[in-house]
Structure 1
Amino acid sequence: MHVEKSIVKVNDFIAVEDIMQQRTQIPTYERIAIDLANRIYDGKFKVGEKIHGRSTLASEYNVSPETVRRAIKILEDVGIVQSAKGSGIIVSSRENAFKYINRFSSLETIKDLEKQMKSLFSKREELDQQIFDTVNKIIDYSGKLRHTNPMVPIEVEIVPGCSHIGKTISEVKFWQNTGGTVVGIKRNGKLIISPGPYASILEGDVLLIIGDEKTYDRVMHFLGE
Protein backbone atom coordinates (compact mmCIF):
# COMPACT_ATOMS: atom_id res chain seq x y z
CA MET A 1 0.00 0.00 0.00
CA HIS A 2 2.82 2.39 0.81
CA VAL A 3 4.53 1.56 -2.47
CA GLU A 4 1.45 2.52 -4.50
CA LYS A 5 1.13 5.86 -2.73
CA SER A 6 4.83 6.50 -3.10
CA ILE A 7 4.66 5.99 -6.86
CA VAL A 8 1.91 8.59 -7.12
CA LYS A 9 3.93 11.05 -5.05
CA VAL A 10 7.12 10.37 -7.02
CA ASN A 11 5.28 11.09 -10.25
CA ASP A 12 4.12 14.37 -8.72
CA PHE A 13 7.68 15.11 -7.67
CA ILE A 14 9.03 14.48 -11.17
CA ALA A 15 6.30 16.63 -12.68
CA VAL A 16 7.15 19.65 -10.52
CA GLU A 17 10.92 19.14 -10.33
CA ASP A 18 11.69 21.22 -13.43
CA ILE A 19 9.42 24.01 -12.20
CA MET A 20 11.12 24.07 -8.79
CA GLN A 21 14.54 24.17 -10.43
CA GLN A 22 13.47 27.17 -12.46
CA ARG A 23 11.95 28.97 -9.49
CA THR A 24 14.89 28.67 -7.15
CA GLN A 25 18.34 27.08 -6.96
CA ILE A 26 17.62 24.41 -4.32
CA PRO A 27 19.88 21.34 -4.14
CA THR A 28 18.32 18.06 -5.22
CA TYR A 29 18.71 16.48 -1.78
CA GLU A 30 16.82 19.38 -0.18
CA ARG A 31 14.00 19.10 -2.71
CA ILE A 32 13.75 15.41 -1.82
CA ALA A 33 13.66 16.30 1.88
CA ILE A 34 10.86 18.78 1.23
CA ASP A 35 8.92 16.22 -0.78
CA LEU A 36 9.29 13.57 1.95
CA ALA A 37 8.17 16.13 4.56
CA ASN A 38 5.09 16.79 2.43
CA ARG A 39 4.35 13.08 2.22
CA ILE A 40 4.67 12.76 6.00
CA TYR A 41 2.42 15.75 6.63
CA ASP A 42 -0.15 14.41 4.12
CA GLY A 43 -0.24 11.12 6.01
CA LYS A 44 1.42 9.05 3.28
CA PHE A 45 3.95 8.09 5.94
CA LYS A 46 2.52 8.05 9.45
CA VAL A 47 4.29 8.71 12.74
CA GLY A 48 6.00 5.52 13.94
CA GLU A 49 6.04 3.94 10.50
CA LYS A 50 9.15 3.15 8.51
CA ILE A 51 9.99 4.94 5.30
CA HIS A 52 11.47 2.88 2.48
CA GLY A 53 15.20 2.25 2.65
CA ARG A 54 17.69 4.59 1.03
CA SER A 55 18.16 2.33 -1.98
CA THR A 56 14.42 2.20 -2.63
CA LEU A 57 14.08 5.98 -2.26
CA ALA A 58 17.09 6.50 -4.53
CA SER A 59 15.35 4.42 -7.18
CA GLU A 60 12.05 6.26 -6.73
CA TYR A 61 13.65 9.68 -7.06
CA ASN A 62 16.17 8.52 -9.66
CA VAL A 63 19.13 9.81 -7.64
CA SER A 64 22.14 8.29 -5.89
CA PRO A 65 21.88 6.75 -2.38
CA GLU A 66 24.21 9.51 -1.16
CA THR A 67 21.72 12.18 -2.28
CA VAL A 68 18.96 10.36 -0.36
CA ARG A 69 21.24 10.07 2.70
CA ARG A 70 21.73 13.84 2.72
CA ALA A 71 17.96 14.39 2.39
CA ILE A 72 17.28 12.05 5.34
CA LYS A 73 19.99 13.82 7.37
CA ILE A 74 18.10 17.12 6.93
CA LEU A 75 14.89 15.51 8.16
CA GLU A 76 16.75 14.05 11.14
CA ASP A 77 18.24 17.42 12.04
CA VAL A 78 14.80 19.05 12.23
CA GLY A 79 13.25 16.15 14.14
CA ILE A 80 10.98 14.78 11.42
CA VAL A 81 12.49 11.27 11.25
CA GLN A 82 14.87 9.07 13.21
CA SER A 83 17.41 6.81 11.58
CA ALA A 84 19.37 4.01 13.21
CA LYS A 85 21.18 0.92 11.99
CA GLY A 86 18.91 -2.07 11.97
CA SER A 87 15.80 0.07 12.55
CA GLY A 88 15.58 1.91 9.24
CA ILE A 89 14.10 5.36 8.82
CA ILE A 90 11.17 5.98 11.18
CA VAL A 91 8.77 8.93 11.09
CA SER A 92 8.87 10.76 14.42
CA SER A 93 6.90 14.02 14.01
CA ARG A 94 4.17 15.22 11.65
CA GLU A 95 4.19 18.63 13.40
CA ASN A 96 7.88 19.15 12.64
CA ALA A 97 7.21 18.21 9.04
CA PHE A 98 4.65 21.01 8.86
CA LYS A 99 7.08 23.51 10.40
CA TYR A 100 9.78 22.54 7.92
CA ILE A 101 7.44 22.83 4.93
CA ASN A 102 6.13 26.17 6.16
CA ARG A 103 9.64 27.54 6.60
CA PHE A 104 10.59 26.53 3.09
CA SER A 105 7.37 27.92 1.62
CA SER A 106 8.04 31.31 3.21
CA LEU A 107 11.56 31.45 1.82
CA GLU A 108 10.35 30.42 -1.60
CA THR A 109 7.69 33.10 -1.52
CA ILE A 110 10.23 35.79 -0.67
CA LYS A 111 12.47 34.66 -3.51
CA ASP A 112 9.52 34.67 -5.89
CA LEU A 113 8.57 38.18 -4.81
CA GLU A 114 12.13 39.38 -5.29
CA LYS A 115 12.18 37.94 -8.80
CA GLN A 116 8.81 39.49 -9.58
CA MET A 117 10.01 42.87 -8.29
CA LYS A 118 13.18 42.74 -10.41
CA SER A 119 11.10 41.75 -13.42
CA LEU A 120 8.67 44.62 -12.85
CA PHE A 121 11.52 47.12 -12.47
CA SER A 122 13.03 45.86 -15.70
CA LYS A 123 9.71 46.13 -17.51
CA ARG A 124 9.11 49.62 -16.10
CA GLU A 125 12.50 50.81 -17.31
CA GLU A 126 11.79 49.35 -20.73
CA LEU A 127 8.34 50.97 -20.80
CA ASP A 128 9.75 54.35 -19.67
CA GLN A 129 12.27 54.21 -22.48
CA GLN A 130 9.58 53.37 -25.02
CA ILE A 131 7.44 56.29 -23.80
CA PHE A 132 10.45 58.63 -23.96
CA ASP A 133 11.29 57.52 -27.50
CA THR A 134 7.66 57.86 -28.61
CA VAL A 135 7.34 61.39 -27.18
CA ASN A 136 10.52 62.41 -28.98
CA LYS A 137 9.17 60.99 -32.22
CA ILE A 138 5.91 62.91 -31.79
CA ILE A 139 7.77 66.15 -31.11
CA ASP A 140 10.12 65.59 -34.04
CA TYR A 141 7.30 64.55 -36.35
CA SER A 142 5.11 67.50 -35.36
CA GLY A 143 7.98 69.94 -35.88
CA LYS A 144 8.68 68.59 -39.33
CA LEU A 145 5.02 68.70 -40.30
CA ARG A 146 4.71 72.33 -39.26
CA HIS A 147 7.46 73.24 -41.66
CA THR A 148 6.52 70.96 -44.53
CA ASN A 149 2.74 70.72 -44.45
CA PRO A 150 0.71 73.90 -43.80
CA MET A 151 -2.51 71.85 -43.73
CA VAL A 152 -1.55 70.18 -40.46
CA PRO A 153 -3.13 72.31 -37.68
CA ILE A 154 -1.24 73.59 -34.70
CA GLU A 155 -2.96 73.62 -31.32
CA VAL A 156 -3.00 76.67 -29.06
CA GLU A 157 -4.80 76.86 -25.70
CA ILE A 158 -6.59 80.01 -24.55
CA VAL A 159 -5.24 80.60 -21.06
CA PRO A 160 -6.81 82.74 -18.29
CA GLY A 161 -6.06 86.42 -18.69
CA CYS A 162 -6.04 86.41 -22.47
CA SER A 163 -7.36 89.79 -23.65
CA HIS A 164 -9.39 88.22 -26.47
CA ILE A 165 -11.61 86.01 -24.25
CA GLY A 166 -15.30 86.62 -24.97
CA LYS A 167 -14.66 88.11 -28.42
CA THR A 168 -15.38 86.46 -31.76
CA ILE A 169 -12.77 85.35 -34.25
CA SER A 170 -13.96 88.11 -36.56
CA GLU A 171 -13.81 90.80 -33.86
CA VAL A 172 -10.16 90.16 -33.07
CA LYS A 173 -9.34 89.99 -36.81
CA PHE A 174 -7.58 86.70 -36.17
CA TRP A 175 -6.45 85.98 -39.72
CA GLN A 176 -5.35 89.56 -40.37
CA ASN A 177 -3.21 89.61 -37.22
CA THR A 178 -1.73 86.13 -37.34
CA GLY A 179 -2.01 84.80 -40.88
CA GLY A 180 -3.62 81.70 -39.42
CA THR A 181 -7.07 80.26 -40.02
CA VAL A 182 -9.04 78.69 -37.16
CA VAL A 183 -10.34 75.38 -38.55
CA GLY A 184 -11.54 73.92 -35.26
CA ILE A 185 -12.05 74.51 -31.56
CA LYS A 186 -11.74 71.90 -28.81
CA ARG A 187 -14.15 72.90 -26.04
CA ASN A 188 -15.21 70.86 -23.00
CA GLY A 189 -14.13 67.61 -24.58
CA LYS A 190 -15.92 68.30 -27.85
CA LEU A 191 -14.54 69.34 -31.23
CA ILE A 192 -16.17 72.18 -33.14
CA ILE A 193 -15.17 71.91 -36.79
CA SER A 194 -15.08 75.04 -39.01
CA PRO A 195 -16.38 77.34 -36.26
CA GLY A 196 -16.63 80.34 -38.61
CA PRO A 197 -15.85 84.04 -37.97
CA TYR A 198 -18.60 84.54 -35.39
CA ALA A 199 -17.45 81.84 -32.98
CA SER A 200 -16.47 83.22 -29.59
CA ILE A 201 -13.07 82.61 -28.02
CA LEU A 202 -13.50 81.22 -24.49
CA GLU A 203 -11.10 80.46 -21.67
CA GLY A 204 -9.83 76.86 -21.91
CA ASP A 205 -10.53 76.59 -25.64
CA VAL A 206 -7.92 74.90 -27.77
CA LEU A 207 -7.76 76.52 -31.20
CA LEU A 208 -6.79 74.40 -34.19
CA ILE A 209 -5.02 76.69 -36.62
CA ILE A 210 -3.46 76.21 -40.05
CA GLY A 211 -0.93 78.54 -41.63
CA ASP A 212 2.70 78.81 -42.68
CA GLU A 213 5.83 78.10 -40.65
CA LYS A 214 5.66 81.49 -38.90
CA THR A 215 2.00 81.24 -37.90
CA TYR A 216 2.63 79.61 -34.53
CA ASP A 217 4.91 82.39 -33.32
CA ARG A 218 2.51 85.11 -34.55
CA VAL A 219 -0.46 83.42 -32.86
CA MET A 220 1.37 83.07 -29.54
CA HIS A 221 2.42 86.72 -29.70
CA PHE A 222 -1.10 87.88 -30.60
CA LEU A 223 -2.83 85.88 -27.84
CA GLY A 224 -0.26 87.00 -25.29
CA GLU A 225 -0.87 90.69 -25.89
Structure 2
Amino acid sequence: MEHKIKVSAPVYQQIAADIAAKIVERRYQVGDRLYARSALASQYSVSPETARRAIAVLSDLEIVSVVKGSGVVILSYDNAVRFVQQFMDIKSMYDLKKNIMDSLERQRKEAEHMAESISEILDRTERFQAFNPFIPFEIEITAKTPYLNLSISDINFWHYTTATILGVRRGEMMMISPGPYAVLCEGDILYYCGDTDCQQRVRNFLYPEHPPEKAILDKLRASHRDGKE
Protein backbone atom coordinates (compact mmCIF):
# COMPACT_ATOMS: atom_id res chain seq x y z
CA MET A 1 0.00 0.00 0.00
CA GLU A 2 1.33 3.42 -0.93
CA HIS A 3 1.64 5.94 1.89
CA LYS A 4 1.63 9.55 0.77
CA ILE A 5 3.74 11.79 2.96
CA LYS A 6 2.10 15.08 3.93
CA VAL A 7 3.97 17.89 5.62
CA SER A 8 2.16 21.09 6.65
CA ALA A 9 1.68 23.48 9.54
CA PRO A 10 -0.92 22.46 12.15
CA VAL A 11 -4.45 23.50 11.22
CA TYR A 12 -4.87 25.77 14.25
CA GLN A 13 -1.73 27.69 13.25
CA GLN A 14 -3.05 28.08 9.72
CA ILE A 15 -6.32 29.48 11.09
CA ALA A 16 -4.46 31.86 13.39
CA ALA A 17 -2.31 33.03 10.47
CA ASP A 18 -5.40 33.52 8.30
CA ILE A 19 -7.06 35.70 10.93
CA ALA A 20 -3.83 37.68 11.39
CA ALA A 21 -3.57 38.14 7.61
CA LYS A 22 -7.09 39.58 7.54
CA ILE A 23 -6.03 42.05 10.23
CA VAL A 24 -2.99 43.02 8.14
CA GLU A 25 -5.26 43.46 5.11
CA ARG A 26 -7.46 45.77 7.25
CA ARG A 27 -10.42 43.47 6.84
CA TYR A 28 -10.47 43.41 10.64
CA GLN A 29 -9.75 46.63 12.50
CA VAL A 30 -8.28 47.06 15.96
CA GLY A 31 -11.20 46.96 18.38
CA ASP A 32 -13.37 44.75 16.17
CA ARG A 33 -14.90 41.66 17.69
CA LEU A 34 -14.42 38.29 16.03
CA TYR A 35 -16.90 35.50 15.78
CA ALA A 36 -17.45 33.26 18.75
CA ARG A 37 -15.33 30.11 18.83
CA SER A 38 -18.23 27.98 17.64
CA ALA A 39 -18.75 30.31 14.69
CA LEU A 40 -15.03 30.22 13.85
CA ALA A 41 -15.10 26.43 14.05
CA SER A 42 -17.99 26.37 11.59
CA GLN A 43 -16.38 28.96 9.31
CA TYR A 44 -13.13 26.97 9.02
CA SER A 45 -14.82 23.55 9.21
CA VAL A 46 -12.83 22.48 12.27
CA SER A 47 -13.64 21.36 15.78
CA PRO A 48 -14.30 23.95 18.53
CA GLU A 49 -11.06 22.80 20.20
CA THR A 50 -9.05 23.63 17.07
CA ALA A 51 -10.70 27.06 16.91
CA ARG A 52 -9.90 27.58 20.61
CA ARG A 53 -6.22 26.76 20.01
CA ALA A 54 -6.08 29.20 17.09
CA ILE A 55 -7.47 31.98 19.28
CA ALA A 56 -5.04 31.00 22.04
CA VAL A 57 -2.10 31.50 19.65
CA LEU A 58 -3.34 34.97 18.72
CA SER A 59 -3.96 35.81 22.36
CA ASP A 60 -0.48 34.67 23.42
CA LEU A 61 1.01 36.94 20.75
CA GLU A 62 -1.21 39.81 21.94
CA ILE A 63 -2.87 40.11 18.56
CA VAL A 64 -6.29 39.60 20.10
CA SER A 65 -7.69 39.76 23.57
CA VAL A 66 -10.13 37.22 24.91
CA VAL A 67 -12.56 39.14 27.09
CA LYS A 68 -14.96 37.08 29.11
CA GLY A 69 -18.48 38.02 28.15
CA SER A 70 -17.30 40.14 25.20
CA GLY A 71 -15.65 37.51 23.04
CA VAL A 72 -12.47 37.98 21.01
CA VAL A 73 -11.35 41.55 20.35
CA ILE A 74 -8.67 42.67 17.84
CA LEU A 75 -5.84 44.14 19.89
CA SER A 76 -2.79 44.90 17.71
CA TYR A 77 -2.15 45.46 14.00
CA ASP A 78 1.66 45.50 14.41
CA ASN A 79 1.73 42.17 16.24
CA ALA A 80 -0.41 40.69 13.48
CA VAL A 81 2.12 41.88 10.87
CA ARG A 82 5.01 40.26 12.77
CA PHE A 83 3.13 36.99 13.17
CA VAL A 84 2.23 36.81 9.48
CA GLN A 85 5.86 37.41 8.53
CA GLN A 86 7.05 34.71 10.92
CA PHE A 87 4.38 32.31 9.74
CA MET A 88 5.38 32.82 6.11
CA ASP A 89 8.98 31.99 7.03
CA ILE A 90 7.81 28.86 8.84
CA LYS A 91 5.55 27.97 5.92
CA SER A 92 8.53 28.27 3.58
CA MET A 93 10.40 25.81 5.80
CA TYR A 94 7.43 23.43 5.73
CA ASP A 95 7.30 23.74 1.95
CA LEU A 96 11.02 23.04 1.71
CA LYS A 97 10.64 20.03 3.99
CA LYS A 98 7.72 18.81 1.88
CA ASN A 99 9.80 19.15 -1.29
CA ILE A 100 12.60 17.14 0.30
CA MET A 101 10.21 14.45 1.51
CA ASP A 102 8.57 14.29 -1.92
CA SER A 103 12.00 13.96 -3.52
CA LEU A 104 12.94 11.15 -1.12
CA GLU A 105 9.66 9.41 -1.88
CA ARG A 106 10.33 9.63 -5.62
CA GLN A 107 13.83 8.26 -5.10
CA ARG A 108 12.41 5.40 -3.02
CA LYS A 109 9.95 4.51 -5.78
CA GLU A 110 12.68 4.73 -8.42
CA ALA A 111 14.93 2.48 -6.32
CA GLU A 112 12.10 -0.03 -5.91
CA HIS A 113 11.44 0.04 -9.65
CA MET A 114 15.15 -0.44 -10.36
CA ALA A 115 15.35 -3.36 -7.93
CA GLU A 116 12.30 -4.98 -9.54
CA SER A 117 13.80 -4.52 -13.01
CA ILE A 118 17.14 -6.02 -11.96
CA SER A 119 15.36 -8.93 -10.30
CA GLU A 120 13.36 -9.56 -13.46
CA ILE A 121 16.51 -9.44 -15.61
CA LEU A 122 18.29 -11.90 -13.33
CA ASP A 123 15.27 -14.17 -13.26
CA ARG A 124 15.01 -14.19 -17.05
CA THR A 125 18.76 -14.77 -17.38
CA GLU A 126 18.63 -17.74 -15.02
CA ARG A 127 15.64 -19.22 -16.85
CA PHE A 128 17.31 -18.66 -20.21
CA GLN A 129 20.54 -20.28 -19.07
CA ALA A 130 18.60 -23.17 -17.56
CA PHE A 131 16.90 -23.63 -20.92
CA ASN A 132 20.20 -23.49 -22.84
CA PRO A 133 23.25 -23.94 -20.57
CA PHE A 134 25.65 -24.24 -23.53
CA ILE A 135 25.60 -20.60 -24.54
CA PRO A 136 29.33 -19.78 -24.48
CA PHE A 137 31.11 -17.05 -22.62
CA GLU A 138 34.12 -15.38 -24.17
CA ILE A 139 37.28 -13.74 -22.91
CA GLU A 140 40.23 -12.14 -24.66
CA ILE A 141 43.80 -13.21 -23.95
CA THR A 142 45.97 -10.14 -23.41
CA ALA A 143 49.55 -9.52 -22.35
CA LYS A 144 48.28 -9.04 -18.79
CA THR A 145 47.70 -12.74 -18.22
CA PRO A 146 50.65 -14.54 -16.62
CA TYR A 147 49.83 -17.63 -18.69
CA LEU A 148 50.62 -16.15 -22.09
CA ASN A 149 52.15 -18.67 -24.53
CA LEU A 150 51.34 -21.61 -22.26
CA SER A 151 49.00 -24.42 -23.24
CA ILE A 152 45.62 -25.22 -21.75
CA SER A 153 47.15 -28.36 -20.30
CA ASP A 154 50.18 -26.52 -18.84
CA ILE A 155 48.01 -24.28 -16.70
CA ASN A 156 45.41 -26.94 -15.74
CA PHE A 157 42.67 -24.66 -17.06
CA TRP A 158 39.75 -27.00 -16.40
CA HIS A 159 41.03 -28.00 -12.96
CA TYR A 160 41.00 -24.38 -11.73
CA THR A 161 37.91 -23.13 -13.56
CA THR A 162 35.73 -26.21 -14.35
CA ALA A 163 35.02 -24.43 -17.65
CA THR A 164 35.13 -26.30 -20.95
CA ILE A 165 36.84 -24.50 -23.84
CA LEU A 166 34.69 -24.81 -26.95
CA GLY A 167 36.86 -22.87 -29.35
CA VAL A 168 39.63 -20.33 -29.83
CA ARG A 169 39.50 -17.54 -32.38
CA ARG A 170 42.90 -16.36 -33.55
CA GLY A 171 42.61 -13.58 -36.08
CA GLU A 172 40.47 -14.90 -38.93
CA MET A 173 40.92 -18.52 -37.86
CA MET A 174 38.54 -20.36 -35.55
CA MET A 175 39.76 -23.50 -33.78
CA ILE A 176 36.87 -25.66 -32.61
CA SER A 177 37.49 -27.87 -29.57
CA PRO A 178 41.19 -26.99 -29.51
CA GLY A 179 42.28 -29.71 -27.09
CA PRO A 180 44.68 -29.54 -24.12
CA TYR A 181 47.77 -28.60 -26.13
CA ALA A 182 46.40 -25.39 -27.61
CA VAL A 183 48.59 -22.44 -26.61
CA LEU A 184 47.16 -19.17 -25.33
CA CYS A 185 48.44 -16.37 -27.56
CA GLU A 186 47.94 -12.65 -27.19
CA GLY A 187 44.81 -11.55 -29.01
CA ASP A 188 43.11 -14.97 -28.83
CA ILE A 189 39.42 -15.06 -27.98
CA LEU A 190 38.47 -18.04 -25.83
CA TYR A 191 34.92 -19.38 -26.04
CA TYR A 192 33.94 -21.57 -23.12
CA CYS A 193 30.91 -22.81 -21.22
CA GLY A 194 30.14 -23.87 -17.69
CA ASP A 195 27.95 -23.04 -14.73
CA THR A 196 26.81 -19.52 -13.90
CA ASP A 197 29.89 -18.85 -11.75
CA CYS A 198 32.51 -20.09 -14.18
CA GLN A 199 32.75 -16.76 -16.00
CA GLN A 200 34.10 -15.10 -12.87
CA ARG A 201 36.37 -18.06 -12.10
CA VAL A 202 37.89 -17.91 -15.59
CA ARG A 203 38.51 -14.19 -15.32
CA ASN A 204 40.03 -14.52 -11.86
CA PHE A 205 42.23 -17.39 -13.04
CA LEU A 206 43.53 -15.79 -16.23
CA TYR A 207 43.90 -12.34 -14.67
CA PRO A 208 44.60 -13.01 -10.98
CA GLU A 209 44.96 -10.21 -8.48
CA HIS A 210 48.09 -11.95 -7.20
CA PRO A 211 49.85 -13.70 -10.10
CA PRO A 212 51.82 -16.92 -9.50
CA GLU A 213 55.44 -16.54 -8.49
CA LYS A 214 57.96 -16.21 -11.29
CA ALA A 215 59.61 -19.51 -10.35
CA ILE A 216 56.33 -21.35 -10.84
CA LEU A 217 55.74 -19.70 -14.22
CA ASP A 218 59.30 -20.45 -15.31
CA LYS A 219 58.77 -24.09 -14.37
CA LEU A 220 55.55 -24.20 -16.39
CA ARG A 221 57.27 -22.69 -19.42
CA ALA A 222 60.20 -25.10 -19.11
CA SER A 223 57.75 -27.99 -18.94
CA HIS A 224 55.95 -26.58 -21.98
CA ARG A 225 59.21 -26.43 -23.96
CA ASP A 226 60.11 -29.97 -22.94
CA GLY A 227 56.71 -31.16 -24.06
CA LYS A 228 57.16 -29.55 -27.46
CA GLU A 229 60.55 -31.18 -27.89
TM-score norm. by structure 2 comes to 0.49
C-alpha separation in 2, matches of 1:124 and 1:95:
43
Q: Which of 164, 171, 176 lines up with 1:168 in the alignment?
A: 171
The question of 1:69 aligning with 2:55 is answered no
Which of the residues 144, 156, 172 maps onto 2:130?
144
Q: Which aligned pairs between 1:1-225 and structure 2 lie closer than 5 A?
A: 23-24=6-7, 28-41=11-24, 43=25, 45=27, 48=30, 50=32, 52-54=34-36, 55-63=38-46, 65-84=48-67, 86=70, 88-90=72-74, 92=76, 93=78, 94-109=80-95, 111-113=97-99, 115-116=101-102, 119-120=105-106, 122-123=108-109, 125-127=111-113, 129-147=115-133, 154-161=136-143, 167-170=170-173, 173-177=174-178
Unaligned stretches of 5+ residues in structure 2: 150-168, 180-184, 207-229
Distance 1:64-1:138 versus aligned 2 partners, 3 A rule:
closer
CA RMSD of aligned residues (A): 4.5
The Cα shift of 1:88 comes to 4.2
- The aligned amino acid for 1:168 is G
CA deviation after TM superposition for structure 1 residue 60, in Å: 1.9
Q: Which amino acid aligns with 1:158?
A: E
| Closer, same or farther: CA 61–174 of 1 in aligned 2, 3 Å | same
SS at match of 2:138: strand
Secondary structure in 2 aligned to 1:89?
strand
Q: Tell me: CA distance 1:155–1:29, structure 2 relative to 1, closer, same or farther (3 Å).
A: same
State the shift of 1:25 in Å.
7.3
Residues 38 and 101 of structure 1 are in contact (CA less than 8 Å); yes or no, is this contact kept in structure 2? no
The separation in 2 between residues aligned to 1:143 and 1:66, in whole angstroms, is 66
Is the alpha carbon distance of 1:30 and 1:145 closer, same or farther for their aligned partners in structure 2, counting shifts above 3 Å?
same
For these two proteins, the number of residue pairs brought into alignment is 166
Aligned to 2:227: none
Which stretch has the larger CA shift, 95-104 or 114-123? 114-123
The answer to whether the 8 A contact 1:79-1:96 is kept is no
Q: Determine the C-alpha separation between the residues in 2 that align with 1:27 and 1:105.
A: 11
Which one has the largest radius of gyration? 2
Counterparts of 2:10 and 2:51 in 1: how far apart (Å)?
12
Aligned amino acid, residue 177 of structure 1: P
What is the alpha-carbon distance in structure 1 between the residues aligned to residue 87 and residue 41 of structure 2?
Answer: 21
What is the CA distance between 1:106 and its match in structure 2?
A: 4.2
Relative to total residues, which structure has the larger helix share, 1 or 2?
A: 1
Q: Is the 8 A contact 1:29 1:70 kept in 2?
A: yes
SS at match of 1:177: coil
* 1:50 alignment partner, SS class: coil
1:90 deviates by 0.9
Q: Deviations over 1:95-128 (max 9, x none)?
A: 2232342253145236525633652464255245
Verify the 8 A CA contact 2:32 2:73 in the aligned structure 1. Answer: yes
Q: Which runs of 5+ in 1 are unaligned?
A: 1-21, 179-200
State the TM-score, normalizing by the size of structure 1.
0.50
Quick check: 1:33–1:74 contact (8 Å CA) kept in 2? yes
Q: In the aligned structure 1, how far is the partner of 2:83 from the partner of 2:72?
A: 18
| C-alpha distance in structure 2 between counterparts of 1:136 and 1:45, whole Å | 66
CA distance in 1, matches of 2:6, 2:21: 18
